Amino acid sequence: DVKVTQSSRYLVKRTGEKVFLECVQDMDHENMFWYRQDPGLGLRLIYFSYDVKMKEKGDIPEGYSVSREKKERFSLILESASTNQTSMYLCASSLTGRLNEKLFFGSGTQLSVL
Amino acid sequence: GNSVTQMEGPVTLSEEAFLTINCTYTATGYPSLFWYVQYPGEGLQLLLKATKADDKGSNKGFEATYRKETTSFHLEKGSVQVSDSAVYFCALSERYSSASKIIFGSGTRLSIRP
């Protein structure tokens, strides 16, 4: 089965730090996504990528950037972490991006910004 | 824009009770509809999906029917088990740039008492 691996399960960072969240998928999927999950708000899309070096803003891109230099790896970058970025971050991938296609999710990274 | 609204939780039921989690959507075009489930400590995984009106998705005893006339996709199970305790997310897909993205509801936490 497809495996989506996020590099850290828990992270604690300080305000103003630059933070990198890494995600790797092992099934040659074209599309990769970063969501954040907050209680009562569900999942909100931050950025996604449909090809190497291609990226698209999602619904809440402010304060974030992404990098996709290789097909299997999609990184989320918090340029200067702030306390309101404390959240659960979920990476996902899909094969081709057809409307009926499911997403495969990683286990998530719980980020706390102090 | 497109959106998904699902009943707020938490929902607490006794084992073998009947479950309904309501989900309604707003969409242009013909999205696919999904239910994802997140078990404690795990990433989201697809539970079931339906790709066109009147389709019924089913898996693990759960069912949901794509109702275009009422713009609904309610999740049902006839007899829940303790192992069904999880957070359930209703979602729809929409075309976005060169791919598709999935919009999630806010999630419903389900707890089943033995």
DSSP strand pairing (B108-113 vs B11-14): parallel
Would you say residue B98 has pLDDT above 70? Answer: no
User: Is residue B73 a contact partner of residue B35, using CB atoms and an 8 Å limit?
Assistant: yes
| pLDDT at residue A1, rounded to an integer | 67
B49·A99 Cβ contact <8 A: no
Which one of B4, B44, B92 makes the best mutation probe of the A interface by having the most chain A beta carbons within 10 Å?
Answer: B44
**CB pair distance less than 8 Å for A101 and B96:** no
DSSP string, B9-72: S-EEEETT--EEE-EEEE-SS---EEEEEE-TTS--EEEEEE-STT-EEEETTEEEE-BTTTTB
Q: How far apart are CA B59 and CA A110, in angstroms?
A: 29
Which of A2, A30, A36, A102 is the best mutation test for B, with the most CBs of B within 10 A? Answer: A102
- The residue that leads in pLDDT, A2 or A45, is A45
Q: Minimum mean pLDDT among A31-35, A52-56, B47-51, B93-97: which range?
A: B93-97
Whether residue A48 and residue B105 make contact (CB cut-off 8 A), yes or no, is: no
Q: Choose from B8, B36, B90, B104 for mutation: most chain A CBs within 10 A.
A: B104
| Tokens 């708000």 found at | A41
Residue A96 reports pLDDT greater than 90: no
Q: Is A75 on the interface with B (CB under 8 A)?
A: no
* Interchain CB contact of A98 with B (< 8 Å): yes
Q: What percentage of chain B carries pLDDT values higher than 90?
A: 77
Strand (E) positions, chain A? 4-6, 10-13, 19-25, 31-38, 42-51, 54-57, 64-70, 73-78, 87-94, 104-105, 109-113
Question: Per-residue pLDDT tens for B23-37?
Answer: 999 998 889 999 999
pLDDT of B101 above 90: no
Most confident segment among A69-83, B40-54, B98-112 = A69-83
Return the SS3 of B96. strand
A42/B105 Cβ within 8 A: yes
Query: Could you say which of A4, A42, A99 has the minimum Cβ distance to residue B31?
Result: A99
pLDDT at B28: 84
Distance from CA of B15 to the nearest CA of A (A): 25
Condensed to tens digits (0 to 9), the pLDDT of residues B62-76 reads 999 999 999 999 999
A10, A80, A96 from A31: Cα distances, Å: 25, 26, 6
